[in-house]
Amino acid sequence: MVGDLERCVPEEGVERREAQTSRRLEEKSRIVDLRKGESFGFLGFEYRLVRSRKGRWRPRYTPKVKKRTALLAKLREIFQRNASKPVSKVIEQINPILRGWVNYFAVGHSSRCFALIQNWVEKKIRRHLMRARKRKGFGWKRWSTKWLYQTLGLFNHYRVLRCEPLPKAIPVR
């Protein structure tokens, strides 16, 4: 039985596979000096050092542009596929995608990215509503932003989660 396994996995194949894996890791891995203005990407975020308002250096991590572009492409495809459907059906498909994406990237410094996505989605919904009525424009005077989010149920929880600092000493009871 053991002899059969040795025939199935030749040693040259295993060594070749290990060499390919180590070469691939060397290509992807690199040492980055954040103090020189370099940045690196990890798990969809871009990390870099920036000066705070107080002049201290601190890490800044934002969603990668590639991830934002992928989200917008996915949403654009949904809008194109459902151009003739009612806006409620479009919102049913978009909301879970937006909720998941925002929940994943709700840490760090994502508020600018969230604002861009929120404005883009709102314009697309407004344009969808206007096309259904065979009109030009976005309907800024026709529908308020509040109406879009409350009546239609468009996702509106673009919040960055902030961790509260722990107290320096636990109060005695």
pLDDT digits (tens, 9 = 90+) for 51-76: 888 888 888 888 889 999 999 999 99
Q: State the residue range of the domain holding 128.
A: 64-150
What is the count of structural domains for the chain? 1
Residue 13 lies in a domain: no
The DSSP 8-state label assigned to residue 36 in this structure reads G
Average pLDDT score over residue span 117-137: 92
Residue 37 lies in a domain: no
Residue 20 lies in a domain: no
Q: Are 43 and 61 in contact (CB under 8 A)?
A: no
- pLDDT tens-digit map of 81-105: 998 999 999 999 999 999 999 988 8
First CA to last CA distance, the chain: 68
Residue 71 lies in a domain: yes
Highest mean pLDDT among 39-43, 85-89, 168-172: 85-89
Token couple for 35: 């103090």
- In whole angstroms, how far apart are CA 39 and each of 46, 47, 48? 7, 5, 5
